[in-house]
Amino acid sequence: METLKPKDLRKSMKWLLEIATCPICLNTLHSDTVQCVNGHPICVECQQDLEICPTCRNPFSNVRPTGFIHQVIQSLPHPCRYPDCTYFVKTNDNHERFCGYKPTECKHCNWRGPGRGIVAHLQIVHHQLLPVKQRQKQWGEQFNHREECSVFFPILVKGEFFWGEMKNDLQNDKLTAVVHHVPNGKTGSIYFSHVLLKLNKESYTASLKLNLSPTADPYKDNCIAIPTSLLHKFTDENKLFYRLFVTKNKWESFKNILEIWIDDMKKLIHLK
């Protein structure tokens, strides 16, 4: 028996994938599938507004594809749904949840593009938002703890990108420090978020192990809440001084906080 050559296998796989692709949305077919009288399959959602098959121009059939056909379709690897991604998704593979081509949005403009492109966008359009080293921040020109307000800023750590969000939540009487992860592929690393409020001799710190699952709710799983009643200690002339940062391990958090204390000591020595 003659063995199949790799190019023949690739050709057969390509043909099978074409058969298992909806001609309208171009996604791999799933369990909700209908077919025309000639057997051409199409998604139920895509067929709703059609009267004839887009492939052969014949009417649709009332006969649904068999369970066996569905099993064959589901067992085939299919191209990732996101444009420009060349990855083939296998059965039970959650690649698409972490795909770097998954669309995301810029928090500072109307830009929308792949998650893997957000850093390049910021470097070109919002370069002032990407400090070489994250230092203590000042919340705008004026901060009023009696007003609802929020601010977003980028955080880049070891190749992983996050949006940091500080939000004054009047309804729940708290200041929240939220971290939003923008995936660019799967990561097996563990990250922690840390918030630091410091003014003169007063300081407040809190840390949280981040949940990087795409199904995580940042406002529940990656949120540090600070009681509003504490904010007056860290507000000077209506300016709130804070720091929200992300580290790959807990030791780095202590290192970052220590750097702030050293900076403060240098300032005091300089003033003297």
260 close to 170: Cβ distance less than 8 angstroms: no
Dihedral angle of Cα 18, 21, 25, 28, to the nearest 10 degrees: -130
Question: Torsion angle of alpha carbons 137, 139, 141, 143, nearest 10°?
Answer: -150
Give the closest residue to 195 by CA, choosing from 230, 170, 161.
Answer: 230
Q: Which CATH fold would you assign to the domain 129-270?
A: 2.60.210
- Amino acid 28: pLDDT: 76
Nearest one of 23, 45, 19 to 32, comparing CA atoms: 45
Class of domain 11-79: alpha beta
Q: What pLDDT shows up at residue 132? A: 47
Q: What is the mean pLDDT of residues 248-252?
A: 70
In angstroms, rounded to a whole number, what is the distance separating the alpha carbons of residues 244 and 139? 12
pLDDT tens-digit series, residues 133-163? 554 455 544 566 677 888 898 999 888 999 9
Which sequence spans correspond to the domains of the chain? 11-79, 129-270
Q: Nearest-CA neighbor of 108 among 121, 99, 95?
A: 121
Give the rounded percent of residues in the chain with a pLDDT score beyond 90.
Answer: 33
Q: What is the pLDDT of residues 84-127, one digit of tens each?
A: 998 888 877 889 999 999 999 999 999 999 999 999 999 999 98
Over 90: is that where the pLDDT of 201 sits?
A: no
pLDDT number for residue 1: 43
Compute the distance between CA of residue 73 and CA of residue 67 in angstroms, rounded to an integer: 10
Of the candidate ranges 29-33, 80-84, 94-98, 206-210, the one whose mean pLDDT is the lowest = 29-33
Say if 11-79 and 129-270 have the same CATH topology. Answer: no
Residues facing 59 on adjacent strands: 52
